[in-house]
Structure 1
Amino acid sequence: MRGTGESVIQMSTPQESSTVHAVAAQPAFSFLTTAYRTADTLPRTIRSVLDQTRTDWELVIVDNGFDDEIAAVVEPYLADPRIRFVRQENAGAAGGTMAAASRATGRYLVPLNSDDAVTPEFCARTGDLLDDDPGIAAVTTDAFQFIDPGERVMTNSYLKDAGIRSVPDPEKPVRLEDVIDGPSPYYTAAIRREMWDALGGLHSDTPLVDDLDFWLRALVAGYDVRMLAQRLGRFRMQSGSVSRPDEPERIEQFEGQRERALTKAAATSEDPEVLAALDRVLRRLRYGQAIRRARLAFRRGDIDDARTHAARAWAQRRTVRVAAIKAGLTLSPRLLGAVHPLKQRLYDRLDTVRKLGLRRG
Structure 2
Amino acid sequence: MTTSSDGGGPDRAAGSHVPDGPPAFSFLTTAYKAADTLGRTIDAVLAQTRGDWELVVVDNGNDDAVAAVVEAHRDDARVHLVRQENKGAVGGVRAAAEHATGRYLVVLNADDAVTPDFCARTGEVLDADPGVAAVTCDAVQFVDPGQQLLARTYLQTAGLAEAPEGAVRLGVADIIDGPCPYYSAPIRREVWDALGGMGHDTDAPVVHDLEFWLRAILAGHDVRLIGDRLGLFRLERGSESRPLDPEATEEFERQRELVLRRAADAAADPDAREALDRVLRRLTYQQAIRRARVAFSQGTPRRRAGTSGRPTRSARPPARAPWWSPSGWPPARCRRSTRSSAACRHASPACARATGGRAGRAGGRCDEDPGPGLAPDRVATERLRPARREPLRPPPG
Greater shift, 162-171 or 136-145, is seen at 162-171
Q: 1:113: which partner in 2?
A: 109
Code of the aligned partner of 1:292: R
Code of the aligned partner of 2:261: T
Q: 1:237: which partner in 2?
A: 235
> Which of residues 170, 173, 194 in structure 2 aligns to 1:174?
170
Aligned: 1:39 with 2:35: yes
Aligned: 1:125 with 2:154: no
After superposition, the Cα gap between the structure-2 partners of 1:50 and 1:238, relative to the gap in structure 1 and judged at 3 Å, is same
8 Å contact 2:4–2:82 — kept in the other structure? no
Q: 2:314: which partner in 1?
A: none
Larger radius of gyration: 2
After superposition, the Cα gap between the structure-2 partners of 1:217 and 1:240, relative to the gap in structure 1 and judged at 3 Å, is closer
After superposition, the Cα gap between the structure-2 partners of 1:265 and 1:75, relative to the gap in structure 1 and judged at 3 Å, is same
CA deviations over 1:97-149 (Å, ceiling 9, x no partner): 11101110000000000000000000000000001100000000000111122
Code of the aligned partner of 2:267: S
- Kindly report which structure 2 residues correspond to 1:29-68, keeping only aligned pairs within 5 A, or say none: 29-68=25-64
Q: TM-score, normalised by structure 1?
A: 0.75
Shift of 1:302: 8.8
CA deviations over 1:38-94 (Å, ceiling 9, x no partner): 101101100000000000000000000000000111102122111100001111111
Q: 2:100: which partner in 1?
A: 104
CA deviations over 1:276-327 (Å, ceiling 9, x no partner): 0000001111211122222223334499xxxxxxxxxxxxxxxxxxxxxxxx
8 Å contact 1:136–1:226 — kept in the other structure? yes
Q: Which runs of 5+ in 2 are unaligned?
A: 9-19, 302-373, 379-397
> Which of residues 62, 74, 80 in structure 1 aligns to 2:76?
80
Give the SS at the match of 1:101: helix
CA deviations over 1:312-345 (Å, ceiling 9, x no partner): xxxxxxxxxxxxxxxxxxx87xx9xxxxxxxxxx
Code of the aligned partner of 1:159: L
After superposition, the Cα gap between the structure-2 partners of 1:37 and 1:194, relative to the gap in structure 1 and judged at 3 Å, is same
> Which of residues 87, 94, 97 in structure 2 aligns to 1:91?
87
Shift of 1:170: 3.5
- Kindly report which structure 2 residues correspond to 1:143-154, keeping only aligned pairs within 5 A, or say none: 143-154=139-150
Measured in 2, the distance between the counterparts of 1:239 and 1:263 equals 27
Q: Using CA pairs below 8 Å that are at least 6 residues apart, which structure has the higher relative contact order? A: 1
CA deviations over 1:218-276 (Å, ceiling 9, x no partner): 111111011110100000123799xx997000001100000000001111122211100
- Kindly report which structure 2 residues correspond to 1:1-361, keeping only aligned pairs within 5 A, or say none: 18-19=3-4, 21=6, 24-201=20-197, 202-203=199-200, 204-238=202-236, 247-301=245-299
Measured in 1, the distance between the counterparts of 2:21 and 2:51 equals 12
Q: 1:7: which partner in 2?
A: none
8 Å contact 1:168–1:174 — kept in the other structure? no
After superposition, the Cα gap between the structure-2 partners of 1:285 and 1:126, relative to the gap in structure 1 and judged at 3 Å, is same
Give the SS at the match of 2:232: strand
Q: How many residues are matched?
A: 289
8 Å contact 2:5–2:77 — kept in the other structure? no
Greater shift, 56-65 or 219-228, is seen at 219-228
Code of the aligned partner of 1:73: V
After superposition, the Cα gap between the structure-2 partners of 1:61 and 1:252, relative to the gap in structure 1 and judged at 3 Å, is same
Measured in 2, the distance between the counterparts of 1:271 and 1:156 equals 32
8 Å contact 2:107–2:183 — kept in the other structure? yes
8 Å contact 1:121–1:232 — kept in the other structure? yes
Give the SS at the match of 1:184: coil
% identical aligned pairs? 60
After superposition, the Cα gap between the structure-2 partners of 1:20 and 1:115, relative to the gap in structure 1 and judged at 3 Å, is closer
Measured in 2, the distance between the counterparts of 1:19 and 1:69 equals 16
After superposition, the Cα gap between the structure-2 partners of 1:280 and 1:22, relative to the gap in structure 1 and judged at 3 Å, is same
Measured in 2, the distance between the counterparts of 1:42 and 1:221 equals 34
8 Å contact 2:139–2:232 — kept in the other structure? yes
Q: TM-score, normalised by structure 2?
A: 0.69
Give the SS at the match of 1:230: strand
Q: Which runs of 5+ in 1 are unaligned?
A: 1-13, 304-330, 336-361
Shift of 1:205: 1.8
After superposition, the Cα gap between the structure-2 partners of 1:146 and 1:246, relative to the gap in structure 1 and judged at 3 Å, is closer
More helix by share: 1
Aligned-residue CA RMSD in angstroms? 2.4
8 Å contact 2:238–2:244 — kept in the other structure? no
8 Å contact 1:39–1:70 — kept in the other structure? yes
8 Å contact 1:170–1:226 — kept in the other structure? no
Code of the aligned partner of 1:103: H
